[in-house]
Amino acid sequence: MSRTTIALSVCLTVVMAMDESRGSSEGSAKREPIGYGAQFVVQPAATCKGVAKKSLFAHPPYKKGQERVNGWVIGEVTVDLTGTTAPALAFSMGIRDDHGSDRGVLYRVVVDGKRVFYEWHKDAVWQDARVDLKAFAGKKVSLELGVYSLGEHYALWGAPRIVDNRQGDADHVVCDLTDLVAEAGKYVELQASIPAKDLPEACRREQEQAGGELVAVRPSPQQIAWQELEFIGFVHFTINTFTDREWGDGKEDETLFNPTALDARQWVRVFKEAGMKLLILTAKHHDGFCLWPSKYTEHSVKRSPWRGGKGDVVREVADACREGGIKFGFYLSPWDRNQPSYGDSPVYNEYFKNQLRELLTSYGEVTEVWFDGACGEGPNGKKQVYDWAGYYGVVREIQPKALIAICGPDIRWVGNESGVARETEWSVQKGSPTQHPGKKYVWWPAECDVSIRPGWFYHAKQDKQVKTLEQLLDIYYKSVGRNSVLLLNVPPDRRGLIHENDAARLKELRRALDETFKVNLLTGKRATASSADGGDGAHAAGKAVDGDGRTYWTADEGAHEGWIEVDLGGAVTFNRSMIQEQIALGQRVEGYVVEAWEGGQWKEIAKGTTVGYKKLDRFGDVTASRVRFRIIRCRANPTIRELGLFRAPGLGPKR
């Protein structure tokens, strides 16, 4: 994924104050040397709507370790205007053809600390711009140029140059800014979001109009139930387990599949004890080997010696899930490196739908159907074209309550395989032309997939590389605690059992989570609020601390901010906080602050942007008798389902 921000002899700073200076306000970001995946380079022929220009190209910061970040990319140079009389900066704003959405880019120009240009550009066409620099004629100045991407964009400054209109007619080029890149200071400023009040007016108006549409988007009952699962399990187990590979080629000898002690009940028991509420099985991976005796291929368990060729892993797992009281789902890879018809798109698509029908009709209720987008060429040398609409149609017809994930319309891939969601994670997304044809906005929550080991399939050499408790806890807070569902892969070994090391680590994880979250220190405490909609107590402040997920507090209609204060009844020590929105009414919160009353004043202990189903924050031990949760930005009046404070024993204060 990439974002775009540019700066050249120009340096872009985060626009947090709308005055004429570059100065910052509360929440402004610290400038750092360029990093976090950001780029600032010259591209000799960057195209926008097919028209090429020599341009400044910038890729915004987007990664901080395993985390996603937003921010500005910055370049700074000195420009000599001593011989000019009517200088100007001329350029074209553009979004590069190969990457863009319709949310747009903020362009800003700062000269000697004074903001002289601040515009929003969202159309994928070149738009000429001219910035008057007469006030700086006759001087050497620091020129800053930059971009903040509001979506997924590659932004361009096309043909950027300093010109001087000496005679009042034709421009004389003083310098080409692309020639100064080698000398430019290059920086980034991380900024999760730009407050609405600090956006250019046109951008702010469009966002306000869109806000009502976004709040109106609601999850289905199935999506709410899925979000409440919070922590679910993945099982990668197939012929790869016995070939010691991650991706098979479809040429494997089926007789290699022969687990000696396969026990699906043990899998379910381990998952359930860890707190996982759904098991997703890889019914078929890219090698095409089927864990059920499909009548449409011989590359399956029916040609293995396991259970005398009469076994059915999918059956055993589905039955064990029902018996153990957890939900069942499956992953069916569209890519099939064994199937001869792959690449003959109509024929293979029918084959794939037939396999879907087998899985959806023979194994009881299916909660989640998991598709990825891996795709290749078939034996005929042609790339397969998947019939996504047809696949979805089969699922909807046979199991209408099943959610379709990843390359599906109901659940979105978070964008990495590290199990980490963004600090700002919206469940309301623009509709995808493939997954949501004709829909502008949809409820499309994120799922965070990650493996407990380096590989997705079992490898004996990784028995001592199971993730540590600290790593798993960090992933939990950055997935479940960031409005997402955590999908943790735990691969069975060649016996067909969850390895002892993995099972032990999962028990440690469950114990640590239980010790932290067993007591909500706010439940039942006295709460007051800035306002409460309705006036009949139905949505009073106390509804956010009553432990009832069906109730919620909401501020007065039309309020886009508000607060709840909770009296703890005495000094209480805590180091974790929780906020949950009533997502049945949409996702609304854009910014919040958590404060504790210390030393006769409110002290900030945590802050963030989106909340959604659940937001968890970590910090060092705090002792206080009162706390306050402030919603500082919201798309509509906030609807808070539950607030929480907890104390994690002996664990670090990581955010």
Q: Find where tokens 């959405």 sit.
A: 101
The pLDDT value given to residue 630: 96
Question: Which residues in 155-194 belong to E strands, given as ranges?
Answer: 155-164, 172-176, 185-190
**Closest to 513 measured CA to CA, from 555, 542, 473:** 473
Q: How many CB atoms lie within 10 A of CB 570?
A: 7
* Structure confidence by residue, pLDDT tens digits, 459-481: 999 999 999 999 999 999 999 99
Lowest mean pLDDT, pick from 15-19, 281-285, 617-621, 643-647: 15-19
Average pLDDT, the chain: 91
The pLDDT value given to residue 551: 96
Q: Which residues of 446-458 are buried (b: 16+ CB within 10 A; e: fewer)?
A: bbbbbbbbebbbb
The pLDDT value given to residue 2: 30
pLDDT of 575 strictly over 90: yes
The residue type at 360: L
Burial class (CB in 10 A: 0-12, 13-18, 19+), 626: middle
Alpha helices by DSSP H, listed for 201-344, are 201-215, 221-229, 240-243, 264-274, 313-324
Mean pLDDT on 148-161:
86
Instruction: Report how far apart the first and last C-alpha atoms of the chain are (Å, whole number).
Output: 24
In which region does residue 283 sit, left (phi positive, over 0), alpha (psi from -120 to 50) or beta (all else)?
alpha
The residue type at 565: E
- Helices 388-398, 345-362: inter-axial angle, 10-degree rounding: 20
* Structure confidence by residue, pLDDT tens digits, 92-129: 999 887 765 567 889 999 999 999 999 988 888 899 99
pLDDT interval class at 62 (50, 70, 90): confident
348 by DSSP, 3-state: which?
Answer: helix
Rounded CA-CA distance 170/182 in Å is: 29
Burial class (CB in 10 A: 0-12, 13-18, 19+), 571: exposed
* Pairing assessment for the beta strands 87-95 and 155-164 based on DSSP bridges: antiparallel
What are the C-alpha distances in Å from 124 to residues 48, 60, 389?
6, 18, 28
Three-state secondary structure of 21-82: ECCCCCCCCCEEECCCCCEEEEEEEEEECCEEEEEEEEECCCEECCEECCEEEEEEEEEECC
* Tokens encoding 256: 């290699």
Rounded CA-CA distance 397/216 in Å is: 27
CB 518 within 8 A of CB 561: no
Radius of gyration of the chain (CA): 28
pLDDT interval class at 198 (50, 70, 90): confident
Lowest mean pLDDT, pick from 199-203, 285-289, 341-345: 199-203
* Pairing assessment for the beta strands 615-634 and 589-598 based on DSSP bridges: antiparallel
Q: Which residues of 358-378 are buried (b: 16+ CB within 10 A; e: fewer)?
A: bbbeebeebbbbbbbeeeeeb
* Structure confidence by residue, pLDDT tens digits, 424-443: 999 999 999 999 999 999 99
pLDDT of 573 strictly over 90: yes
* Structure confidence by residue, pLDDT tens digits, 314-333: 999 999 999 999 999 999 99
CA 216-218-221 angle, 5° bins: 155
The pLDDT value given to residue 112: 95
144 by DSSP, 3-state: which?
Answer: strand
Rounded CA-CA distance 200/189 in Å is: 19
CB 513 within 8 A of CB 470: no
Which residues, at least 6 apart from 581, have a Cβ–Cβ distance to it below 8 Å?
587, 588, 589, 611, 612, 613, 638, 639, 640, 641
DSSP type of residue 424: S
Lowest mean pLDDT, pick from 84-93, 435-444, 528-537: 528-537
pLDDT interval class at 537 (50, 70, 90): confident
Mean pLDDT on 447-464:
98
502 by DSSP, 3-state: which?
Answer: helix
89 by DSSP, 3-state: which?
Answer: strand
The residue type at 175: C
**Closest to 284 measured CA to CA, from 229, 233, 345, 351:** 351
Lowest mean pLDDT, pick from 129-138, 208-217, 434-443, 523-532: 208-217
Lowest mean pLDDT, pick from 196-200, 300-304, 435-439, 451-455: 196-200
Rounded CA-CA distance 516/520 in Å is: 9
Q: DSSP string covering 307-344, please?
A: GGGT--HHHHHHHHHHHHT-EEEEEE-S--SS-TTTTS
Mean pLDDT on 384-411:
98
pLDDT of 651 strictly over 80: no
Rounded CA-CA distance 499/315 in Å is: 21
Chain centroid to Cα 399, Å, comes to 27
The kind and range of the H/E element at 590 are strand 589-598
18 φ, ψ (degrees, to nearest 5):
-95, 20
* Structure confidence by residue, pLDDT tens digits, 248-277: 999 999 999 999 999 999 999 999 999 999
Rounded CA-CA distance 317/203 in Å is: 51
Considering the entire predicted model, what is its pTM? Answer: 0.79
pLDDT interval class at 24 (50, 70, 90): very low
The residue type at 595: E
CB 283 within 8 A of CB 290: yes
* Structure confidence by residue, pLDDT tens digits, 634-648: 999 999 999 999 999
The pLDDT value given to residue 655: 41
Name the residue with higher pLDDT: 449 or 152. Answer: 449
The pLDDT value given to residue 236: 98
Q: Find where tokens 């806000």 sit.
A: 211
